[in-house]
Amino acid sequence: MKLLENYSKGVSTWGIDVKTQQIKRLKKWHYFVNGMSLCGKYKQTENENLLPVGMVYSHEMCAKCRKLLEKAQKKED
């Protein structure tokens, strides 16, 4: 696994607030797919590298993103 590889899906602590359109440093890790967080609150910042989800502890992730990710992973199995 290459950490600095540009992933299309992954986690980040930077995002663009959907309501204010301002770039923010996020308190929790959010999971991004196709430029949008699963919880719907943030867009991915331009040129932001995403980390694989396995690089962060689950308690450090946004609860809504984590639940939706777990649900999607169960459907794949």
Distance (Å) of CA 31 to CA 1, 17, 20, 39, 68: 18, 14, 20, 8, 9
Per residue in 16-60, pLDDT (tens digit) is: 999 999 999 999 999 999 999 999 999 999 888 899 888 899 999
What whole-number distance in Å separates Cα of residue 68 and Cα of residue 15?
A: 18
| Tens digits of residue pLDDT in 2-18 | 655 566 899 999 999 99
Backbone angles phi, psi at 69, to 5 degrees: -65, -45
